[in-house]
Structure 1
Amino acid sequence: MQRIPLNIQTLYADLQQQVAMASQDEATVVATTVAGIRYLRLQRWVGASRTVEHLGRADDPEVLARADTARAEMARRQERRRLVSALRRLIPGPTNALGRVADAVAHAGLFRRGAVLVGTAAYQCYPPLLGMVLPSATVMTQDLDLATADLALDAEIAGDSMLAILQRAEASFAALPGLDPKAPPSRFRDRQGFVVDLLTPQRRRSDRDPMPLKALAAGATPLQHLDWLIEDPVSAVALHGAGVAVVLPRPARFAVHKLILAQKRGAHEPAKARKDLAQAAALVEALRVAAPFELDDAIEDARSRGRDGWARPLDRSLSAIGVTA
């Protein structure tokens, strides 16, 4: 497993700081003239869509001040784009499809409001956090899993449904119908086959499937162990565009969760079980160097939560990847 040089890790830390400080005023200033009066507006690209915000007359001091701020923010954005390009020469980044979806979700404020990126999409964001380049065979994905423990999750932009958010990334996104045609959709797919799944922790066996996310006109599939996975998440930056601020499970919890999940896959999912083990094995190897105590704590914490549902599948998977319990 290739280590990421310390200077590259430092560049990533700088990028994280810059993305955290970025303003919503990052936009291109465009001037138009109507009936002899000059007006200014801001144009932003979100995912693959352009949004427009009208500022007002170009002779208004407040409008001019806002335009100056936007130009300064755009200059900083261009610097971040160069930084992301430099980082991607060594650290693989997400596919364009995944990056656009993450950008649209971030722009809608879902990560700030409690959403957590899970699954292989999250795994792709771990290398710079761990200081290791993870094996490329384990990172390929055509989907994005988004989890939330808060069923009141909503977008910052009033009236945004989950479908509207995703269509900023790709206009062909559509809701996939579930078994109950009256239930809110929890899966969305574009015409290229990229799938977005919404998930939430299972609290009781009687939980509805999907659980309604009314503010987003969507639903979320309840899953076991998900509350443990997304507890106390970490911030990261997806290496796409000028950098996309995302929220991920702690790497050690992600690895342990994958170890447990691999044993719970059905007989019809052998490929997914093998992928779970491959991702877990790569993370365990990286964590043994980067954060061994955090990994040990996650393993012990998971074991303490029960024998059949936690400790037994965990130990079986550890044995399968050649790690002594």
Structure 2
Amino acid sequence: MKQIDFVFRTLLAELAQRIAHTPESELDTNGRFVPLSVKGRRYWYFDAAGFRGGKVRKYVGPDEDEAVRQTVTRFKELKEDANARRKIVRMLVREANLPAPDPFAGKIIRSIADAGQFRSNCVLLERYAYQCFAAFLGVQLPMVPWDSNEKAIGFSIRTNADIVALRDILRSADRSFAPETFSGIRQGDVRFVNANGFRIELAAPTLLTAYLVEDSAKSVVLYKSGVEVTIPRPERYAVHELIMSARPVEDDNVLDREHSRMRALAVIEGMLCARRQADLAEAYEAAWTRNDSWKALIERGITLIDDMQRRTRILEGLTQGMKDIGCDPSHVL
């Protein structure tokens, strides 16, 4: 495992800063303003993509209106900035080999971001959060396995009102999204699925999920001109996956637990490579002291790392991290 080249880490920081300072706009930067002259007077229209392809033209106002001219000027600046960010995203994906979502997943994530959900209670989970960790840590993370359904996005939200809001956002992006109910779904989970079988999974608000999304962080999904999202902190994610990897056999199949272990180890080693052992130790200690059953699962998760050299490296990193935060390693390791 190695760190991302300094040049690309600088570009990532610039991209995140540009997005954070981009003013909100109701106009999609993929659209354009079009001037039309009628009887010697100039009028502005805005062309945006239609729901089922094509374009939708909306009247904005006369050119002689100062507010309209200012709107056109501001949009031109936003579009230029979006084009510059799009070039950065392409460079990061093609030259730095950083992961990006497939186009439909990117479209859904962007729709949720544009609706302001990541600024309230929504946290991106699972594979697309993992994709963000490489940029967040500045480390090249390995590809890791997920379940057999590649067409899914996971989120954590807090209230029924958030579920309703998310449903409406999904249906505005794809009208075929509908709630899915079946006997195998975990109690408290909510799923939406579209006509092509693409799933949106909303995690049940369990104690472990609450631990995972506590003190969540901002990151950027490399789609189009970049999308600011909220993700779990990688150290919390790593401990969460370590716990999931040690669940009793009857809870789920062996392959799921092995996949959780592989994801936990990838992120843990990424954090140690980035010299973030103190952050990892804090997340580890927080889970260890919060719940006795978690403590037993963490111990078992460490024990189940069958590569002894790998286990030793991780324990050494955690030991150093505990010392860095002023915690006695013998109390938790």
Q: Aligning the two structures, in what range does the TM-score lie when normalised by the shorter sequence?
A: 0.7 to 0.9
Q: State the alpha-carbon separation in 1 of the partners of residues 72 and 104 from structure 2.
A: 31
Residue 29 of structure 1 pairs with residue 36 of structure 2: no
Quote the residue 1:247 is aligned against.
230
Return 165-174 or 270-279, whichever deviates more. Answer: 165-174
Q: Secondary structure at the match of 2:61?
A: strand
Q: Deviations over 1:156-193 (max 9, x none)?
A: xxxx84233123444432221356xxxx9921112332
| Mapped contact 1:46–1:103 kept (Cα < 8 A) | no
From 112, 122, 125, the equivalent of 1:115 is: 122
Q: Secondary structure at the match of 1:137?
A: coil
From 230, 233, 245, the equivalent of 1:262 is: 245
| Mapped contact 1:256–1:299 kept (Cα < 8 A) | yes
Give the 3 Å change call, closer, same or farther, for CA 272–169 of structure 1 in structure 2.
Answer: farther
Q: State the alpha-carbon separation in 2 of the partners of residues 174 and 286 from structure 1.
A: 37
Quote the residue 2:292 is aligned against.
307
Residue 163 of structure 1 pairs with residue 167 of structure 2: yes
What amino acid sits opposite 2:109 in the alignment?
A
From 62, 65, 69, the equivalent of 1:64 is: 69
Deviation of the 1:320 alpha carbon:
1.9
Residue 196 of structure 1 pairs with residue 205 of structure 2: no
Identity of aligned residues (%): 27
Give the 3 Å change call, closer, same or farther, for CA 320–103 of structure 1 in structure 2.
Answer: same
Return 161-170 or 97-106, whichever deviates more. Answer: 161-170
What amino acid sits opposite 1:126 in the alignment?
F
From 114, 135, 147, the equivalent of 1:128 is: 135
Give the 3 Å change call, closer, same or farther, for CA 19–311 of structure 1 in structure 2.
Answer: same
What amino acid sits opposite 2:74 in the alignment?
T
Q: State the alpha-carbon separation in 2 of the partners of residues 163 and 47 from structure 1.
A: 17
Quote the residue 2:320 is aligned against.
none
Residue 5 of structure 1 pairs with residue 9 of structure 2: no
| Mapped contact 1:124–1:139 kept (Cα < 8 A) | no
| Mapped contact 2:124–2:154 kept (Cα < 8 A) | yes
Deviation of the 1:268 alpha carbon:
3.8
Quote the residue 2:301 is aligned against.
317
| Mapped contact 1:46–1:169 kept (Cα < 8 A) | no
Deviation of the 1:132 alpha carbon:
1.2
Residue 15 of structure 1 pairs with residue 19 of structure 2: no
Give the 3 Å change call, closer, same or farther, for CA 76–260 of structure 1 in structure 2.
Answer: same
Quote the residue 2:84 is aligned against.
79
| Mapped contact 1:97–1:194 kept (Cα < 8 A) | no
Q: State the alpha-carbon separation in 2 of the partners of residues 270 and 85 from structure 1.
A: 38
Give the 3 Å change call, closer, same or farther, for CA 139–235 of structure 1 in structure 2.
Answer: farther
Give the 3 Å change call, closer, same or farther, for CA 43–280 of structure 1 in structure 2.
Answer: farther
Q: State the alpha-carbon separation in 1 of the partners of residues 232 and 127 from structure 2.
A: 12
Return 244-253 or 31-40, whichever deviates more. Answer: 31-40
Q: Which structure has more helix as a fraction of its residues? A: 2
Structure number with larger C-alpha Rg: 2
| Mapped contact 1:40–1:54 kept (Cα < 8 A) | yes
Give the 3 Å change call, closer, same or farther, for CA 226–92 of structure 1 in structure 2.
Answer: same
Residue 145 of structure 1 pairs with residue 187 of structure 2: no
Q: Structure 2: 5+ residue runs without aligned partners?
A: 306-310, 316-332
What amino acid sits opposite 1:125 in the alignment?
C
From 256, 272, 295, the equivalent of 1:288 is: 272
Alignment of structure 1 residues 223-238 onto 2, 5 Å: 223-238=206-221
Q: State the alpha-carbon separation in 1 of the partners of residues 273 and 50 from structure 2.
A: 37
Q: State the alpha-carbon separation in 2 of the partners of residues 52 and 130 from structure 1.
A: 43
Q: Which structure has more strand as a fraction of its residues? A: 1
| Mapped contact 1:177–1:185 kept (Cα < 8 A) | no
Give the 3 Å change call, closer, same or farther, for CA 38–274 of structure 1 in structure 2.
Answer: farther
Quote the residue 1:211 is aligned against.
none
* 4+ runs deviating over 6 angstroms: 46-52
Q: Please report the TM-score for the alignment, with normalisation by the length of structure 2.
A: 0.79
Q: State the alpha-carbon separation in 1 of the partners of residues 47 and 198 from structure 2.
A: 27
The total of aligned residue pairs comes to 295
Q: Secondary structure at the match of 1:39?
A: strand
Q: Please report the TM-score for the alignment, with normalisation by the length of structure 1.
A: 0.81
Q: Secondary structure at the match of 1:63?
A: helix
